[in-house]
């Protein structure tokens, strides 16, 4: 049963619309890539692994919110959109063949998507009173780990079996550097937005929560 005094913020219409649209688009693109690998431009690019991992990642926040947070807080739309965007932009980039046709697109994705998902983790796990040093520390801890994990998965999923293997070392170093920089930039941006009074309702599950009993019982001062 949902508590009547659970912390609720107004749903941001634009963010919610973008989030739902990105999720729907992601599912549609993944289904298309499985049915028509050539059309999705993911042939020999671990299409099956992406089809399994991306929906799990995109729907993690809704699942966690439903199980643990829905009785005490409104839905964290901004963080969920950031996470969903990482999956959607990668899938859309493959669908439009941007990875092969635009030389800098892969670099942009490593920088931007590591930054986006790091920003989401900061919003979901840190209070807006956190210091810049603490935010940067978590940005590096998560962002670098995520970048390394992605490169390992990418290597074993398809690079080790393709002609790209010869150039994988240099490419991996560049991707790790871009991902790490993206994570730090994301942390600094989030911290500055907090200091300007923005994103204050982005992680309602971290805000103080008053139990239903104390909310309805009169205090001694009121008699």
Question: For the segment 32-71, what is each residue's pLDDT rounded down to a tens digit?
Answer: 888 877 766 666 666 677 788 899 999 999 999 999 988 8
* Residue 49, domain member (yes or no): yes
Q: How many domains does the chain have?
A: 1
* Residue 149, domain member (yes or no): yes
* Residue 66, domain member (yes or no): yes
Query: Which domain range does residue 139 map to?
Result: 13-205
> CA-to-CA distance for 60 and 142, rounded, in angstroms?
17
> For residue 12, what are its two tokens?
């941001």
Report the pLDDT value the prediction gives residue 7, as an integer from 0 to 100: 67
Question: For the segment 139-197, what is each residue's pLDDT rounded down to a tens digit?
Answer: 999 999 999 988 887 777 655 555 555 666 667 788 899 999 999 999 999 999 999 99
Using CA atoms in the order 116, 122, 128, 130, what is the torsion angle rounded to 10 degrees? -130
State how far the alpha carbon of 210 is from the alpha carbons of 3, 72, 102, 214, 216, in Å.
10, 9, 52, 7, 10
* Residue 214, domain member (yes or no): no
Report the pLDDT value the prediction gives residue 94, as an integer from 0 to 100: 86
7: Cβ contacts below 8 Å, ≥ 6 apart: 72, 73, 74, 204, 207, 209
91 near 58, Cβ under 8 Å? no
* Residue 165, domain member (yes or no): yes
> CA-to-CA distance for 35 and 30, rounded, in angstroms?
9
* Residue 77, domain member (yes or no): yes
């Amino acid at each position: 049963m949902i508590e009547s005094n659970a912390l609720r913020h107004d749903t941001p219409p634009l963010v919610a619309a973008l989030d739902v649209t990105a999720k729907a688009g992601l599912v549609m693109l993944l289904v298309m890539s499985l049915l028509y690998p050539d059309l999705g431009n993911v042939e020999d690019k671990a299409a099956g692994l992406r089809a399994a991992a991306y929906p799990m990642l995109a729907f993690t926040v809704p699942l966690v919110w439903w199980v643990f947070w829905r009785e005490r807080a409104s839905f964290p739309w901004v963080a969920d959109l950031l996470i969903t965007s990482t999956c959607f932009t990668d899938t859309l980039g493959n669908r439009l063949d941007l990875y092969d046709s635009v030389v800098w697109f892969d670099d942009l994705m490593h920088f931007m998507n590591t930054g986006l998902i790091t920003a989401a983790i900061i919003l979901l796990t840190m209070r807006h009173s956190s210091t810049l040093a603490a935010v940067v520390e978590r940005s590096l801890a998560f962002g670098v780990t995520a970048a390394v994990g992605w490169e390992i998965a990418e290597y074993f999923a398809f690079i080790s079996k393709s002609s790209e293997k010869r150039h994988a070392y240099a490419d991996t170093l560049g991707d790790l550097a871009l991902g790490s920089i993206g994570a730090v930039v994301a942390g600094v941006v989030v911290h500055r937005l907090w200091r300007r009074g923005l994103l204050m309702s982005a992680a309602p599950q971290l805000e103080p929560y008053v139990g239903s009993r104390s909310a309805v019982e009169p205090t001694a001062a009121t008699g």
